[in-house]
Chains A and B, each alone.
Chain A
Amino acid sequence: MRRVVVTGMGLVTPLGGDVETTWSNILASRSGAGKITHFDASDQKCHIACEVKPADHEFGFDPNLRVDHKVQRQVDPFIIYGIDAAGQAFEDAGLTDMSEEDRFRTGCSIGSGIGGLPGIEKESLVLAERGPGRVSPHFVHGRLINLISGQVSIKYGLMGPNHAVVTACSTGAHSIGDAARMIALDDADVMLAGGAEATICPIGIAGFAQAKALSTKRNDDPTKASRPYDKDRDGFVMGEGAGVVVLEEYERAKARGAKIYCEVVGYGLSGDAYHVTAPHPEGIGAYNSMAMALKRSGLTTADIDYVNAHGTSTMADTLELAAIRRLFGDDIATMSMSSTKSAIGHLLGGAGAVEAIFSILAMRDQTVPPTLNLDDPEEECAGVDLVPHFAKQRKVKAVLSNSFGFGGTNASIIMKAI
């Protein structure tokens, strides 16, 4: 099979509108959490989230940089974040000026876990209060999950595979893994791959709170609420944003002298076949997903220096850790593992892609990002470097990034430096 490398990256997160701003804030142990400002959340159980900040904020996002005014008016925020992150990645890779022949071989695989929930909520109210004749003609294609891939392909003229994964919180990781396979199998030479989410709206917060998934204990102390592995954690903090990478066939990237961040060497995917929201108590799905990725990579657990955990700040954290312990055995003592959800919250369908990018940056800078708020780790964490509070310099040559989603869907990606 053909080799696949990463040659571009783009991010829109609660800690920045681009890769470098986000990453420097992550390494500085900053939190993107705060009181919800997108709507009045005072009647909700949960009042906090990690929102993408407005353009005038110190680490805000300016939608006008890459997304046409008319498109902005028609689509949900997850699509705006996705188009921008894809544009950043494409620019970073130096590929925006492609021949038609190359554009036939370039595709998009940018998904979302939920899609345009704020718009669905809003237009449902229009329908109920004012009737069908007032529903926006852009309602459907402004909310559909595959419309990031659609919009990006139109913007750049990309006529290769046009795909969009929908696997809840595993979306971003599956998107990258599936796209890498399309290149490996010679269906494309270049793929924009990743995920986006923006569901910080009344029905989104209410829905996740009713499912008992969100932290509700720290409405007055938002930056302390996301605390993976800590004994006092009580649920995740919802984030929003997007992450997109440019995947490229290795020989092509080398021939054009591209900046190569790393190689995607392993991809594993599995199902829990257990429960709609709770992970399997023995972590079987998580284990199988990681084991499959490891086998494909040709590496051993001793080669993995950093794990970006799914680690959502829920009861599931220790189940993932137990599965990692079972897979790694004694090698668990020499790797570092952290959950960057402690800083930017849970980006749901965007999480896997954003966290893959953090893992790549850890390799680039030989620095692993911290797990914030880890004051009092669970007993099960003994002997594992969870990088509490502060980033840390160390050797990072190969990384594993995990994502697990509702429905019992698991994805793991292994990348290594070239």
Chain B
Amino acid sequence: MSETADRVKKIVVEHLGVEADKVTEEAAFIDDLGADSLDIVELVMAFEEEFSVEIPDDAAEKIGTVKDAIDFIDKNKG
């Protein structure tokens, strides 16, 4: 598992209060991890903070799964 994936999963566990083993790369934030739209806003802010990236609104809307987040961050982090 990549270092990005580790850090993303840690943030997801902390913010959504879910068990770590549920946070697979395929897991969808809303359908599998019980997040709502506001949780996603908060998660995106936390990713921005953690990785010093900017995730614009249109990109954030396309982040549906843990893998989507990891891929975006890997592609865009400085």
Contacts and interface: CB of A to CB of B under 8 A. Distances in A.
A137 interface: yes
B15 A73 contact: yes
A73 B39 CA distance: 11
A138 B42 contact: yes
A70 B15 CA distance: 7
Nearest to B45: A134
Contact of A137 (B16, B17, B38): B38
A69 interface: yes
A262 B38 CA distance: 43
Interface in B43-66: 45
A138 B38 contact: yes
Contacts of A68: 17
A96 interface: no
A175 B41 CA distance: 34
B37 to A, nearest CB: 8
Nearest to B38: A137
A136 interface: yes
Interface string A97-139: 0000000000000000000000000000000000001101110
Interface in A60-78: 68-70, 73
Interface residues of B, number: 8
Interface residues of A, number: 9
Nearest to B13: A69
Contact of B17 (A70, A134, A136, A138): A70
B41 A137 contact: yes
Contacts of A133: 45
Contacts of B42: 136-138
A151 to B, nearest CB: 14
A70 B16 contact: yes
Contact of A69 (B17, B38, B45): B17
Interface in A317-343: none
Interface in B17-46: 17, 38-39, 41-42, 45
A133 B57 CA distance: 11
Interface in A64-95: 68-70, 73
| A73, A133, A136, A137, most chain B CB atoms within 10 A | A137
Nearest to B14: A73
A134 B54 CA distance: 12
Contacts of B15: 70, 73
B67 to A, nearest CB: 22
4 tightest Cβ-Cβ pairs between the two chains A and B: A69-B17, A137-B41, A70-B17, A137-B38
Given A73-B17, A134-B45, A138-B38, 8 more contacts: A69-B17, A70-B15, A70-B17, A73-B15, A133-B45, A136-B42, A137-B41, A137-B42
10 contacts: A69-B17, A70-B15, A70-B16, A70-B17, A70-B39, A73-B17, A134-B45, A137-B42, A137-B45, A138-B42
